[in-house]
Amino acid sequence: MKRCMFMAFALMLGLPVMAAEGDALKDQSSMKVDFGGDLRLRYDFTDGLPDGRESKGHTDYARVRTRLWGKMTVQKLELFARVANEFRYYNSREKDKGKQRFPDVTFIDNLYLKYSDLFDFVDVKVGRQEMAFGGKRIISDGTGGDGSRSNYFDAVRLTFNFDKDRTLDAFAIYMKSNDWLPTLGRTHDAKSKGNKSYDYETSGYDQDEYGVGLYYQDRSNKEFGWDAYYVYKVEEAAHSYDHGSFIGEWNELERNNDDSFTTHTFGVRLLPKFTKTLSGEAELAAQFGDEGHLAMMAYGGLTYSRKDWAWQPKFTAAVQYLSGDEDGWAGDSAWHPVFNRETGVGETVAPMFEKYAYNNFLYPHIKLDLVPAENQKLSFQTGPMFAPTTEKDGNEDCGNFRGYFAQVKYSIAIGKMIDSPWLKGLGMAFQGEYMSKGNYFMDGEDDDAFFGRMELTYKF
């Protein structure tokens, strides 16, 4: 019944674009076709990354992602398609060397129809697309099972443009646990070591996910912007999950009508500007769900920025909190990430949580953003991390302190510094992270963690 209601809502959202398509195709004289693509080369180095309360060993590997896209525009109607592929070359660990090798699997990364200015104020987008709102803490990545390989949503989205400063987005999302569109090449999961088995897991939790929501943004007052949102979501697991058990303990039961978990998430985001140099951001969300589920997410920060100084420094002091308890993601008070599965704070932090589902997390931190030169960016971030509610698991040495975290990022748009139309899409980036683990980790699993990344990108 819930899925039927969802599909009916999605159909209602999609009907306007069907009528719009017919009107647009009456005149073919304004048709325009564009093509392009991008290449991303990464080399990642890790050592001692957390795995829950334990630690992983050393890895280093190259990642190669290629994407090609095409777009056809007829007046206000746009058809966009993009295919992608990512394969890897592992130097270590030995057991990973058979995984995700070339050619791996080519998949449909985006495929949507968009009609702009329907009734002069509505944009309609139907199909596989990327979405992100506000601080990207609620909706930003729909494919939590494959890292940065993709971040699409299968969705219908209506954007109501009341004026240039006020918009309302209404959306309906349905994410299968595995990619349901045709792919080309090998398919496998994390357990197959590169052998043919299953499609890539997209939802990240071996479950189908669907929902509807509203996101309102208001920037009419230049001194005080604000957002408000509501998201209804259903997590329909392929295996029944006991939300009162410790994370990872699955009950191997066949799918049934009761094998789902529903949440309602309400939130507000405030963006006050106190002076020309001092601004703030505050976001607070409450989440209600089945089985007495009650959780919350909060973020607050102050930013001091001086664009008139050398390197244009921007200094931020902030704190982030997500509720949870000793049962990890399965706990009654554990924050569910709605449709946000990004790495979040950092590559060395995210593996503490099952599929990047941050919860039971408190992170006061500072951040400094700099512009050393034109087309260059440099940033630093650091702070202690805590698990406010943590069970000791019978080990008195286990506590609430997750550890200290530090991160540095540097990027340079090389192509913009070179007078060549062929190289204008060339860029390079570096990222380094360090985590000094605290007493949250078990004895023998608290070695320091490191992450390094070199990246080269080219867009054409």
- pLDDT digit string (tens) for the chain, length 460 residues: 455 544 444 544 544 444 444 454 445 558 999 999 999 999 999 999 999 888 999 999 999 999 999 999 999 999 999 999 999 999 988 788 877 888 888 999 999 999 999 999 999 999 999 999 999 999 999 888 788 899 999 999 999 999 999 999 999 999 998 889 998 987 655 444 444 434 566 766 678 999 999 999 999 999 999 999 999 999 987 444 443 333 333 333 333 445 789 999 999 999 999 999 999 999 999 999 998 999 999 999 999 999 999 999 999 999 999 999 876 767 789 999 999 988 999 999 999 988 788 999 999 999 999 999 999 999 999 999 999 987 654 455 578 999 999 999 999 999 999 888 889 999 999 999 999 999 999 888 899 999 999 999 999 9
Q: Are 218 and 125 in contact (CB under 8 A)?
A: no
Which residues are CB-contacts of 318 (< 8 A; sequence separation ≥ 6)?
281, 299, 300, 301, 302, 364, 365, 366, 367
| Residue 454 structure tokens | 């070199």
Residue 50 identity: P
Question: Could you tell me where the DSSP H helices lie in 25-147?
Answer: none
pTM of the model: 0.88
Peptide bond into 3 cis (omega under 30): no
| Residue 132 structure tokens | 């992100």
322 closest CA partner among 357, 297, 353, 352 = 297
158 closest CA partner among 97, 202, 214 = 214
> What Å distances lie between residue 167 and 142, 285, 354, 398, CA to CA?
22, 20, 34, 47
DSSP, res 14: H
189 closest CA partner among 204, 174, 176 = 204
Instruction: Give SS3 for 373.
Output: coil
Q: How far apart are CA 56 and CA 63, in angstroms?
A: 19
CA dihedral sign of residues 140, 143, 148, 152: negative
